[in-house]
């Protein structure tokens, strides 16, 4: 069965329905209107350079034939008609921005092959950027061309706050991102081209802790609706690569995000306080978390009370990041209704990585998390739920956040609800199979692990499964659970561990089958 994920004016994205993570069970051939296009082996595949307003017949070997019709557009404009050179030397910023400004509603700006050197570009509603396979938007290395924007400004009439920028969950000044949009809707970025932050050739990754202004993202969208990014390669951002902020209905489809393994804070995709985000068919290899779902630190959370809600991550492959799918640490607004399905995690430090602690507040609710049909290889610790996260913020070493004593539940106490992990295969683990550590005053409510197999690397190296105070090195530890109200372990095979396969401390109801 073929699912249609997206049909735009010049591109379309499809998904094979099966139980195989990321890769299809066998190679298949894609034909369009009877003409063979390519052979593929991934569950998600795409078509580009289509004609607007046209009916197509899609044939996939071994599957049914389906018909689809591309959307219409008001016009298609070549960026070079506005003087863009695309030689990698000429500064094309003003030429590209002028072309964007002149696009009518429903217009498409086409980038033919070339390297378009640019400072930050502002998008607007109801437009499409279309990058040919040989086209690259290349960020300038001149930091002075990335204006500093405030975290928020004040309406001069009403006195109300107007949010503009954000860095790591706070409304604070940041350098403008290479591609950005504010308060816009119906924005599409498609094609097989590249958006390159070019940070590796500048100073953005040098002495990052000394910077007082937040580094720019590759793509930042604040309070935008109906955003689709399809097919492109994004890479080498100064900081986070894809950062939708308080957005609704966002789709990241069949795209790749790359950065060196040692690049600082180059998270691939960090949706923050967003509603309805699909991340499907993507390939991530970065220096920090591959996907980090966020909802702001406590000031933003209390002001807007907006959780990250209804996120779907499916048929993706994550490599070399600290966490394949991370929740937090800026999650004071809460994260609910997350499904991760049919994915592959290779050589990340952790598979699921939840980061929270006391002080995140009553809105910091994480609930309704489902991981199923996942393959992990070389992941140091596949499952980590950590309510003692000790990185960032001045209070991390306080007595409040270090004592293991049971404290009163109050407005500062976070909450962990229901988590389900099933149908997973985790090979070549190092540190632990699973490490879940709740608060004594607020235990994790319910964890189910079912139909999972864990094996360990023969040369497993010790490490810390989570980032917390008073940490303990571990190696080949089984599944560790502390401060959990209800734990269900069904059909779990742990092979090669040292010590007990299941370790429980202050676990209420335990069901083992």
> What are the catalytic residues?
288, 322
What backbone torsions phi and psi does residue 95 show, to the nearest 5 degrees? -65, -45
Residue in the block written with tokens 């105070």: 469
Written as six digits, the tokens of 335 are 């994260």
- As a whole number of angstroms, the distance between CA 197 and CA 143 comes to 12
β-partners of residue 246 are none
Number of Cβ within a 10 Å radius of residue 212: 6
Is residue 46 within 8 Å of residue 254, measured between CB atoms?
Answer: yes
DSSP collapsed to 3 states, 24-47: EEEEEEEEECCEEEEEEEECEEEE
DSSP per residue over 294-305, as a string?
B-B-HHHHHHH-
| Helix, strand or coil, per DSSP, at residue 360 | coil
- As a whole number of angstroms, the distance between CA 513 and CA 492 comes to 9
Residues 6+ apart with CB under 8 A from 89: 117
Written as six digits, the tokens of 236 are 């080498």
- Each as own residue / partner, the long-range contacts of residues 35-43 (CB below 8 Å, 24 or more positions apart, any chain) are 42/281, 42/315, 43/15, 43/16, 43/18, 43/281, 43/315, 43/342
DSSP H or E segment with residue 99? helix 93-102
Question: How much is the CA Rg of the chain, to the nearest whole Å?
Answer: 23
Is residue 433 within 8 Å of residue 382, measured between CB atoms?
Answer: yes
Cα distances from 1 to residues 18, 64, 225, 274, in angstroms, run 8, 7, 30, 30
Is residue 48 within 8 Å of residue 55, measured between CB atoms?
Answer: no
């Amino acid at each position: 069965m073929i699912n249609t994920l997206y049909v735009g004016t010049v591109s379309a994205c499809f998904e094979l329905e099966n139980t195989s993570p990321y890769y299809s069970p066998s190679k298949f051939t894609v034909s369009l209107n009877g003409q063979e296009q390519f052979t593929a082996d991934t569950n998600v595949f795409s078509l580009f350079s289509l004609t607007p307003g046209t009916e197509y017949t899609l044939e996939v070997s071994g599957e049914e034939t389906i018909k689809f019709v591309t959307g219409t557009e008001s016009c298609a404009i070549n960026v070079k008609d506005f003087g863009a050179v695309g030689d990698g030397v000429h500064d094309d910023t003003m030429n590209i921005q002028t072309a964007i400004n002149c696009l009518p509603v429903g217009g498409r700006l086409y980038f033919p092959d070339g390297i378009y050197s640019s400072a930050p570009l502002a998008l607007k509603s109801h437009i499409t950027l279309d990058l040919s396979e040989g086209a690259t938007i290349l960020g300038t290395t001149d930091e002075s061309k990335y204006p500093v924007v405030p975290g928020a400004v004040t309406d001069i009439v009403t006195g109300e706050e107007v949010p503009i920028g954000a860095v790591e969950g706070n409304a604070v000044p940041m350098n403008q991102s290479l591609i950005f949009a504010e308060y816009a809707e119906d924005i599409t970025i498609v094609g097989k081209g590249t958006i390159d932050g070019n940070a590796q050739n500048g100073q953005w990754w040098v002495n990052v802790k000394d910077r007082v202004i937040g580094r720019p993202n590759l793509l930042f969208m604040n309070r935008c609706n109906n955003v689709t990014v399809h097919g492109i390669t994004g890479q080498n951002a100064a900081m986070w690569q894809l950062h939708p902020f308080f957005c609704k209905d966002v789709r990241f489809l069949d795209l790749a995000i790359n950065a060196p393994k040692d690049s600082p804070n180059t998270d691939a995709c960090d949706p923050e306080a967003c509603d309805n985000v699909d991340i499907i068919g993507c390939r991530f290899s970065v220096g920090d978390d591959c996907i980090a779902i966020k909802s702001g630190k406590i000031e933003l959370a209390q002001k807007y009370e907006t959780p990250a809600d209804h996120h779907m991550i499916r048929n993706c492959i994550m490599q070399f990041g600290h966490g394949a799918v991370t929740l937090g640490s800026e999650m004071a607004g809460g994260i609910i209704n997350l499904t991760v399905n049919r994915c592959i995690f290779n050589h990340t430090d952790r598979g699921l990585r939840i980061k929270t602690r006391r002080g995140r507040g009553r809105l910091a609710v994480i609930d309704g998390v489902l991981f199923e049909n996942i393959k992990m290889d070389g992941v140091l610790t596949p499952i980590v739920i950590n309510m003692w996260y000790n990185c960032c913020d001045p209070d991390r070493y306080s007595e409040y956040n270090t004592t293991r004593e049971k404290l009163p539940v109050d407005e500062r106490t976070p909450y962990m609800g229901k988590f389900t992990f099933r149908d997973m295969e985790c090979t070549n683990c190092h540190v632990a199979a699973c490490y879940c550590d709740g608060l004594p005053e607020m235990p994790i409510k319910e964890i189910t692990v079912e139909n999972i197999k864990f094996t360990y690397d023969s040369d497993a190296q010790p490490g810390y499964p989570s980032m917390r105070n008073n940490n303990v090195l571990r190696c080949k530890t089984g599944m560790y659970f502390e401060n959990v109200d209800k734990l269900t372990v069904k059909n779990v095979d742990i092979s090669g561990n040292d010590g007990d396969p299941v370790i429980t401390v202050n676990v209420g109801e335990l069901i083992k089958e």
